[in-house]
Every structure is written in C-alpha cells, then in structure tokens.
Amino acid sequence: MGYRIEKDTMGEMQVPDNKYWAAQTQRSVENFPIGTEKMPEEVIIGFAHLKKACAIVNNDLKRLDNNKTHAIIQACEEVIQGKLEGNFPLVVWQTGSGTQSNMNMNEVIANRSIEILGEDFRVKKLVHPNDDVNKGQSSNDTYPTAMRISFVLEIQKQLFPAIKLLKNTFEKKSNEFKNIVKIGRTHLQDATPLTLGQELSAYVDMLNKAENQLNDSMKYICELAIGGTAVGTGLNSHPEFSNMVCKVLNEKTDTNFDFVSHPNKFHALTSHDGEVFLSGALNALASNLMKIANDIRWLASGPRCGIGEINIPENEPGSSIMPGKVNPTQCEAMTMVSVQVMGNHSTVSISASQGNFELNVFKPVIAYNILQSIRLLSDTIVSFNNNCAIGITPNLNNINKYLNDSLMLVTALNPYIGYENAAKIAKTAHKNGTTLKEEALKLGLLTEEEFNKYVKPEEMTYPKK
C-alpha cells in the first residue's frame, strides 16, 4: 500500500493512497489507538444524510455552486449505499465532540466529490472539506444531529418491527391459550388461578407500552442541533439554515417522524437529556424483556424436575457432558442483552450529565451505547420470537396437576366461610398432605356439594358480582 502527502492546518501527514480520507482523519487514527470500537456505521450514514441535506440547502441559499452540490450529493449517496466502506476508520474513543468523525466525513466526501467532478483528488482540490462540505456547520452541531438521525432511522427500521413481531406472537398465543386454567404464582409461591392466556397477555401490554415510550422519546430526538454551529449562536450559518436542513431531511429520509430545528441550540449542544429519555425507554424495554425471558425459562424448566408448564423449542444440545440436555438458550441470550442495555443506560445517563458550559463532550460514547442498545434489542427480540416464542406449547399434564394440588384454591371460599376458616383448611391440608376438600369436610365447614359449587378454578380467573 502506497502513501500520499496531505496537509491541514497542523502540517503534513502521510495518508494511505487508496483511501479518500485526508490529514485530520489520519491524525486521529494515529493519536487514538484506543480499543476496537469503531464509530458506528449508523452514525456514518446519519452524517451522510446530513451532509447531503446541508449541500442542498447551501445550494438553495446560493452558497454552493451546482457542480459541487451535485458531486457532494452523489458522494453522500455512495456512503449511504455502503460503496465507500473502509474509509471511516476512527474509533469511538476520540474527541468528545466527535470533531474527528465529522472531519473524516468531510474529507471523504470532498475527495470523492473531486473524483466525481473528473479530477484527481491527490492533485487538484476542487472541493474543500471545511469550506464546501462543512459550510455553515460545526462539529458541535453536526455530530449530535447525525447521531439523532441515526437513532430515528434505526429505531424505525429495526426496533419497531421487532417489537411488533413479538407482540403479535404473544397476542396469538394469549388467544390460543385463553381457556387453559393454571395456577398463579406470587412471591414464587402458589397463588390463585389465572389462564395461560392471561399470563401471556401481560407481555403484550409490556410491548405496547414499550412502543408508546419509544414514540414519546422521538419528540425530543427529532429536535436537531444543526444550525447552532460552535456554541449555539449560529455563527457562520444562515438564519434559515436549520429549518431548511430539517425540511430536506424530512423529504429525503424515509421516516415516520418529522425532524425539526431544536428551539434552543444552546440546549442542543450542551445537553443530551433527550438521549437519556430515549435510553430510558430502551432500558424499560430491556427490563420487561428480562422479566419475559425469566418467566418463560422458569415455566419451561425441567423437563421432569422443574415447573414444566410450557414447552419451548429444543434448538441445540445444552451440555458437553450431560447427554440429552437442552437449555433455554434464547431466554439466556435475551437476559444477557437486557443486562448490557441496562449498563448502557447508566453510561448514557452519566455521559449526559457531563455537559460543561456550551458543549457536552461525551457525544461519541452516548451514540455508541444507544445504537448498541437499539441493535441488540432488535436482534434478540427477533431471535427470541423466531426460535422460542412461536414454538411455545402448553404442558397440560403439569398444568392440571399443579392446579389441582394448589392450596390457594381455598381463596374461593373466603366469601362463604371467611378468611380464618379458609386459612384453617389450607394449613391443615398442607400439614397432613391432604386435599382442601378432605379437610373442609373433616372440619365440618362445608359439605361436598358446597365445596364443589364454590371451588371452580375456571371461575376464579375473573371478577364476579
């Protein structure tokens, strides 16, 4: 691989000759050899959408000529389509404003634009990364804008469809199992009956709430910092630039949400409470997924020495030493993802608290963690749905055994013989290893006919007048 010389305000740098980036990108590559976490591809694509919109607006404002505009637009489209992959080498652990990633994008777009215009970017600098691609912008307003664009695109493309998929599966299962009466459990102890369909219906509502919370967070995430430039004043940007860029983004990006100019650019640059709100919604979803996964693996535990009220698909061997063992692996994967997302939320919350004066300088780590959460949640929900949830079936033998053995059916007797007498029946039955009916008759509190009339598990699953 050969090298060429590129210059910036700091002097000359040797840059790989087969790459479109230039001196500022190379400085970052050499100055930040930290970790393996690269700037997320989603942020790169968000930047490309933004730079494209900015070029269109600058052209409309007569600040950028037609040839440069068309070349920049084409270069941005190539980034969006993945044609310039390999030209964005920077890590997350760089300057906290994301300046170097902004300049990486500016340099790549500029050099590719020169090539599109028919010149060799190594020789003739027809398009300048700062003066043309970054016109009317600062890293301080472009990076937070690009990352918010990426959040919206990824949530719409990946997470909402995933949630809908699993919600639909649980809706079908809830309806399918609506007449299967089983024992309930509270405090990990026997409780009164419910149907298996009712139990699964809670998961449907959890996922509905997750959709609503994510939709609520979009109100804040769609407020964009672009136009604030360095400190929020909009220096070197046209007064209408921000609104115009948002309008173009709404026209050119396929989203169900409307991007708007942030009403206070000083807030937009220095605070990321909107990201905390979004991360909180992701955290709440993770909490519910943890609960769902734990319920499913407990209910499927066994197959002979656990609860075993449901069956889940047997996808792969579960042990390298125990033949025939099968584990609830999809549940385990989803719980691990949930823990990671909860940790990401802590990182986002702490990072967002670190805005000093006119700028928060934890932007890349905020972007990285939120995008990882979106990606992991989307992937694990789809995997859990396809490899576990759709294959859930009831184990009626165990369900009926536990239901008939449960002492908590005695709760149905409260209105007829009172709490104290009902408790006496339950405790005596438990002590003697007998049934509720046997002890109710021995204690003379009920006749067999009365017991059979009052204790009907299927009638304990809904309120009665």
* Catalytic residue positions, numbered: 187, 319
Q: Which residue has the tokens 């934890």?
A: 362
Confirm or deny that 129 is annotated as ligand binding. yes
Confirm or deny that 97 is annotated as ligand binding. yes
Confirm or deny that 128 is annotated as ligand binding. yes
Confirm or deny that 335 is annotated as ligand binding. no
157 burial (CB, 10 Å; 0-12 / 13-18 / 19+) is middle
What is the residue-wise DSSP string for 205-236? HHHHHHHHHHHHHHHHHTEE-TT-TTTSS-TT
Q: Which residue has the tokens 């204690």?
A: 443
Question: Cα separation of 278 and 352, whole Å?
Answer: 12
The length of the chain in residues reads 465
Confirm or deny that 320 is annotated as ligand binding. yes
* CB of 443 closer than 8 Å to CB of 428: yes
Confirm or deny that 123 is annotated as ligand binding. no
Confirm or deny that 60 is annotated as ligand binding. no
- Long-range own/partner contacts, residues 283-286 (CB < 8 A, 24 or more apart): 283/341, 283/342, 283/345, 284/209, 284/210, 284/213, 285/163, 285/210, 285/213, 285/214, 285/341, 285/377, 286/337, 286/338, 286/339, 286/341, 286/342, 286/345, 286/373, 286/377
Can the peptide bond before residue 394 be classed as cis, meaning omega within 30 degrees of 0? no
305 SS3 class: coil
Cβ partners under 8 Å of residue 183, min gap 6:
190, 191, 192, 193, 399, 402, 403, 406, 408
Confirm or deny that 130 is annotated as ligand binding. yes
Confirm or deny that 99 is annotated as ligand binding. yes
Confirm or deny that 49 is annotated as ligand binding. no
Confirm or deny that 325 is annotated as ligand binding. yes
C-alpha to C-alpha distances, 246 to 78, 144, 273, 377, nearest whole angstrom: 21, 14, 20, 28
Could you count the other beta carbons within 10 Å of the beta carbon of residue 339? Answer: 12
Question: Cα separation of 184 and 193, whole Å?
Answer: 5
Question: Cα separation of 363 and 100, whole Å?
Answer: 12
H or E stretch covering 169:
helix 160-176
C-alpha to C-alpha distances, 108 to 6, 49, 193, 448, nearest whole angstrom: 13, 14, 64, 84
Instruction: List, as residue ranges, the binding site.
Output: 97-99, 128-131, 138-140, 186, 320, 325-327
Instruction: List, as residue ranges, the binding site for substrate.
Output: 97-99, 128-131, 138-140, 186, 320, 325-327
